[in-house]
Amino acid sequence: MARITPLSGFPEWLPDGRVVEQHVLDVLRRTFELHGFAGIETRAVEPLDQLLRKGETSKEVYVLDRLQAEDTASRSSEKQLGLHFDLTVPFARYVLENAGRLAFPFKRFQIQKVWRGERPQDGRFREFAQADIDVVGAGELPYHYEVELPLVMAEALGALRDVGVPEVRVLVNNRKVAEGFYRGLGIEDVEGVLRQIDKLDKIGPERVAELLVAEQGASPQQAGACLDLAAISGTDVGVVDRVRALADEHGARTELLETGLEELSALIVAASTRAPGVVVADLKIARGLDYYTGAVYETLLVGHEELGSICSGGRYDTLASDGKNTYPGVGLSIGVSRLVSRLLSAGLLSATRGVPTAVLVAVSDEESRAASDAVAAALRARGIPTDVAPSAAKFGKQIKYADRRGIPFVWFPGDEHQVKDIRSGEQVEADPAAWEPPAADLWPRVVPAAG
Partner RNA sequence: GUGGCUAUAGCUCAGUCGGUAGAGCGCCUGGUUGUGGUCCAGGAGGUCGCCGGUUCAAGCCCGGUUAGCCACCCCA
Question: What is the closest distance, in whole angstroms, from the C-beta atom of residue 395 to RNA in the complex?
Answer: 3
C-alpha pair distances (Å), 311 with each of 116, 202, 239, 298, 349: 17, 19, 23, 6, 20
Question: What is the closest distance, in whole angstroms, from the C-beta atom of residue 159 to RNA in the complex?
Answer: 18
CA gyration radius, the chain: 27
Question: What is the closest distance, in whole angstroms, from the C-beta atom of residue 258 to RNA in the complex?
Answer: 27
Question: What is the closest distance, in whole angstroms, from the C-beta atom of residue 226 to RNA in the complex?
Answer: 17
Q: Please measure the distance between the N-terminal and C-terminal CA atoms of the chain and give it in whole angstroms.
A: 44
Q: Which is nearer to RNA, 110 or 312 (CB)?
A: 312
Q: How far apart are CA 449 and CA 107, in angstroms?
A: 35
AA letter at 230: A
Q: Which residues have CB under 8 Å from 48's CB, separation 6+?
A: 61, 63, 78, 80, 81, 82
Q: Which is nearer to RNA, 252 or 360 (CB)?
A: 360
C-alpha pair distances (Å), 398 with each of 168, 277, 368, 404: 44, 52, 15, 10
AA letter at 44: A
Q: Which is nearer to RNA, 25 or 289 (CB)?
A: 289
Q: Which is nearer to RNA, 146 or 298 (CB)?
A: 298
Question: What is the closest distance, in whole angstroms, from the C-beta atom of residue 311 to RNA in the complex?
Answer: 6
> Residues 293, 316: contact at Cβ < 8 Å?
yes
Question: What is the closest distance, in whole angstroms, from the C-beta atom of residue 245 to RNA in the complex?
Answer: 30
43 DSSP assignment: -
Q: Which is nearer to RNA, 104 or 291 (CB)?
A: 291
Q: Which is nearer to RNA, 157 or 256 (CB)?
A: 157
- Neighbouring CB atoms inside 10 A of 371's CB total 15
For RNA, the binding residues (CB under 7 A) are: 3, 5-9, 58, 86, 116, 118-126, 128, 130, 195, 198-199, 202, 287-289, 298, 308-312, 333-335, 337-338, 362-365, 392-396, 398-400, 403-404, 410, 412, 418, 420, 422-423, 425, 427
